[in-house]
């Protein structure tokens, strides 16, 4: 198993949904191979506690997701955090002991535990600067978390997008030492990048040969992206008693790519396999169901279609849940754009 650089510590019955959303965000920015989460990264038959100890020791950053049930309260017994064998306790203790950057992440208003509420080996956690993630400000909070992890890993800031107008004057092609070279003329200067020998494809992603000769005008334009990006909200009634929730959706991306978050039971989940298509969009999210001491990953598949009214500010969804201990009927609901949210 490849050593991870970012370890996500969480208690399943406290923050499994947020853990998946945080994992998706970290994997998007730093690569899935650099992020460890037990659901994905421990295979059948592996010794759970040994893998955890090894991966914490290999990590530069430990994210401790703390919800309101993080101590692990139990009826008629002390919280699980007081048990020396508790895996969450062992993860955090190992991170503190090994010198990882330990970042407490407080979820939906959960308080930071004090020293008196922590076992001795976790006292140092109380002195760490915490970040917060809330459902109402999820996107901004997640950006702050990504920035903190980026700084802790020593990763450079992502490059700024190129100017939209006035910067690019043209493209020149030239031969240099038997290599095809593309030059981007910007503000009177030319930047050259080799693209590989004639007939070969290049692995350099900064510039690529055009799909058609440079003197031939394009015959088709890039597809126009529907005005999906931004914040949406829906009142969703799930298929079990008294299960009415206000759910938020934060959609992002460009052209046909769709990512962001979709809330399930009030907790943001990472949008996976997302794409736009004529008339709507589709994506999946995942959650973890814990029952009888075991956990099962559940997939939620969303298909959304624009309605024929309301100026594109309404999407009608059908959501189908797959997996879990009981079958679920499809759930239908309408999401509406929040006032002031951008459509691009």
d(C-alpha 227, C-alpha 272), whole Å? 19
Over residues 178-195, the mean pLDDT reads 42
Q: Is the pLDDT of residue 55 over 90?
A: no
Q: Read off the pLDDT of each residue in 190-197 and give the average, rounded to a whole number.
A: 41
Q: How far apart are CA 318 and CA 246, in angstroms?
A: 16
- Please tell me the predicted confidence (pLDDT) of residue 161: 55
The partner residues of 259 in beta bridges, in order of sequence, read: 252
pLDDT at position 188, please?
42
pLDDT of residue 37: 83
> How far is residue 250's CA from residue 137's CA, in Å, rounded to a whole number?
10
232-241, 278-287, 294-303: range with lowest mean pLDDT = 294-303
Indicate the average pLDDT of the chain.
Answer: 77
The per-residue pLDDT for 211 is 37
pLDDT higher than 90, residue 15: no
Q: CB-based burial of residue 197 (10 Å sphere; 0-12 exposed, 13-18 middle, 19+ buried)?
A: exposed
Q: Is the pLDDT of residue 85 over 80?
A: yes
User: What is the rounded distance in angstroms from the CA atom of residue 18 to the CA atom of residue 68?
Assistant: 13
Answer yes or no: are the C-beta atoms of 157 and 170 closer than 8 Å: no
State how far Cα 246 lies from the chain centre. 21
Give 309's pLDDT tier (boundaries 50, 70, 90): low
> Does 176 have pLDDT greater than 70?
no
pLDDT at 192 over 70: no
Instruction: Quote the CA–CA distance of 221 and 248 in Å, as a whole number.
Output: 33
Q: What is the pTM of this model?
A: 0.51
pLDDT digits 0-9 by tens, 314-331: 999 999 988 877 788 899
């Amino acid at each position: 198993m490849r050593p991870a650089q970012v370890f996500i510590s969480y208690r399943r019955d406290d923050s499994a949904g947020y853990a998946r959303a945080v994992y998706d965000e970290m994997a998007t920015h730093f690569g899935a191979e650099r992020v460890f989460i037990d659901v994905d990264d421990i295979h059948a038959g592996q010794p759970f506690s040994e893998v955890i100890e090894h991966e914490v020791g290999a990590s530069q950053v430990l994210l401790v997701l703390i919800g309101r049930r993080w101590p692990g309260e139990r009826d008629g017994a002390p919280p699980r955090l007081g048990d020396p064998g508790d895996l969450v306790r062992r993860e955090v203790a190992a991170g503190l002991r090994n010198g990882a950057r330990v970042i407490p992440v407080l979820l939906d208003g959960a308080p930071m535990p004090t020293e008196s509420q922590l076992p001795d080996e976790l006292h140092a956690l109380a002195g760490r600067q915490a970040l917060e993630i809330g459902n109402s400000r999820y996107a901004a909070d997640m950006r702050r978390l990504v920035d903190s992890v980026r700084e802790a890993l020593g990763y450079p800031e992502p490059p700024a997008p190129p100017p939209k107008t006035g910067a690019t004057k043209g493209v020149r092609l030239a031969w240099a030492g038997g290599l095809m070279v593309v030059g981007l003329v910007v503000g009177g200067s030319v930047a050259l990048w080799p693209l590989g020998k004639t007939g070969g494809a290049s692995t350099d992603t900064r510039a690529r040969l055009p799909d058609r000769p440079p003197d031939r005008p394009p015959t088709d334009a890039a597809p126009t992206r529907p005005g999906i990006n931004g914040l949406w909200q829906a009142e969703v009634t799930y298929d079990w008693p008294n299960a009415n929730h206000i759910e938020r959706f934060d959609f992002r991306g460009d052209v046909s790519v769709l990512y962001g978050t979709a809330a399930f039971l009030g907790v943001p989940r990472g949008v996976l396999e997302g794409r736009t298509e004529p008339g709507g969009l589709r994506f999946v999210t995942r959650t973890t169901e814990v029952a009888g001491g075991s956990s099962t990953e559940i997939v939620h598949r969303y298909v959304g279609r624009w309605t024929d009214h309301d100026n594109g500010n309404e999407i009608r969804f059908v959501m189908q849940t797959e997996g879990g201990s009981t079958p679920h009927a499809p759930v239908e609901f309408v999401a509406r754009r929040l006032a002031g949210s951008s459509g691009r």
